[in-house]
Amino acid sequence: MAGANEICRMSAMTLAKHIRNKKLSPVEVIDAVLDRMDKLEPKLHAFNIPTPELARNTAKKIEKAIMAKEDVGPAAGVPIGVKDLICTKGIPTTSGSIAYKDFVSDVDDIVVERMRDAGAVILGKTNVPEFGYSGVGHNPIFETTRNPWNLDKTPGGSSAGSGAAVASGMGPWALGSDGGGSVRIPSSFSGLYGLKGSMGRVPLWPGTRDERYPGVSSWEALECIGPMTRTVADTAFMMSIIAGPDMRDQRSLPALEMNWMKTIKGNIKGLKVAYSPDWGYAAVDPEVRKVVGDAVKVFEKDLGCKVEIAHPGFENPYGAFWGLVACETDLKGMRAMVAKHGARMTPHLVEFIMRPWQAEDFTNAIMTRKGVVNKMAAFMQKYDLLLTPTLACPPFQLDIQGPEKIQGRMVDRFEWLNFTYIMNMTGQPAASIPAGFTKSGLPIGLQIVGRHLDDPTVLRASACFEAARPWADQWPPLLDEMGL
């Protein structure tokens, strides 16, 4: 019989197999993970709304069904965390805001609906910055989420709690959402694999919006929901469950005529790969350049790709991205929210909401996006894949929005995200994969970007890199220190 620590270090696919074959019981698995949560949560604060009783009851029902030889889903008994921006029927979705602290959706988001139907067991909601408007893990109403690799650092966000949970073995996978990098950011900072599929590959509905509450809605023209896992195979496994069209999402794509698990088979020998270390304009931390540069060499030396340094050629669209975010924000409703709760809201979010936005800001943002899309489309005609750093810096200290200086240059508080949000503007599939560590032992991610709609090649390239540079057996030293 596997011990509790061994169970918590198993992949989602391994757990699903053992549960299905009755080598592990769902109750045994959930008890092991909940025990780990009891020990780690006082340090990490990954789950702002844990649901232990729901998890135990769900596990008991699944165990009963398995023993009765009833049909159960492919992920039956596998624990999962759900980001607190993703609606869950009967479980609060606070979005890290005082304004939504009592909000309980009447429906599941499509991805939650699909994971429940597949038999996954929800452990609770994972922490986020307020409404997801930043890449870190603190908000006005819950404890700050900490990075398992260094408790004084952020795990990244906005899927902060999802990153910290999976990185520390509190479930083998978690759901995140990505409007400007929020799956890939914590995957990079927490040493995980995270995938933002092609825009529309995973349906998104209803978003955080309810007529009973003023304000926010999902960034529907930018956002994608995606897996955060410790292995590429687990991401393919989750995509096989959550991807595919749904009539409730106007942007959802037709199903790919392929098997998600087969996308990670085969090699990438002969692919043409571009490497842009800085887009030609971005400040990048020297350690990030070194670690990512060494990872890129693997594609040429070990994987047989043809790699060259090249940039798509667009000018910095940083301001335009925030214009697009504003377009996707219910400014009227959120300004009413500020009038009521502003003193207890995140200062930079209040500043963003109350900025005197003009129609020209929005049209300029839309036109800039079109330009970036066109430049990238022309660029990707020459390449099968594009590689970049995931982020411009390593994990930084808690309770700030970003570093003031990178590579000796003063930067705006969110310019460390210069590599991630571009892919939300273009809609291309993009993954963050562990590339290595800083000298002080902090994770650094490599971003793998595919052509428009070519999710399979991103996954296959990721699996090849994972095989060449495996990381799944590397865990934060904190776990050994705590006997976990």
Q: pLDDT at residue 215 above 70? A: no
The pLDDT value recorded for residue 218 is 74
Residue among 182, 188, 218, 276 flagged as catalytic? 182
Q: Which tens digits make up the pLDDT trace of 10-37?
A: 999 999 999 999 999 999 999 999 999 9
Q: Which tens digits make up the pLDDT trace of 352-403?
A: 999 999 999 999 999 999 999 999 999 999 999 999 999 999 999 999 999 9
Q: Does 3.90.1300.10 match the CATH number of domain 4-481?
A: yes
Match 């509190």 to its residue by tokens: 170
**375 a catalytic residue:** no
Mean pLDDT of 156-175: 98
**Domain map of the chain by residue range?**
4-481
**182 a catalytic residue:** yes
Beta-carbon contacts of residue 311 (< 8 Å; ≥ 6 apart): 276, 279, 280
Q: Confidence class of residue 129 from pLDDT cuts 50, 70 and 90?
A: very high
The pLDDT value recorded for residue 269 is 98
Residue among 11, 25, 158, 177 flagged as catalytic? 158
Q: Which residue type sits at 321?
A: F
Q: Contact 392/408 with Cβ under 8 angstroms?
A: no
Q: Which residue type sits at 381?
A: Q
Question: How far is 170 from 46, CA to CA, in rounded Å?
Answer: 9
Residue among 25, 83, 97, 162 flagged as catalytic? 83
Q: pLDDT at residue 209 above 80? A: no
Q: Which residue type sits at 70?
A: E
Q: pLDDT at residue 479 above 90? A: yes
Q: pLDDT at residue 208 above 80? A: no
**240 a catalytic residue:** no
Q: Which of 404, 366, 118 is nearest to 239 (CA)?
A: 118
Alpha-carbon dihedral 450, 453, 457, 460, rounded to 10 degrees: 110
Mean pLDDT score across all residues of the chain: 96
The pLDDT value recorded for residue 212 is 67
Picking from 97-106, 134-143, 145-154, 415-424, which range would have the lowest pLDDT averaged per residue? 97-106
- pTM: predicted TM-score of the whole model, two decimal places: 0.98
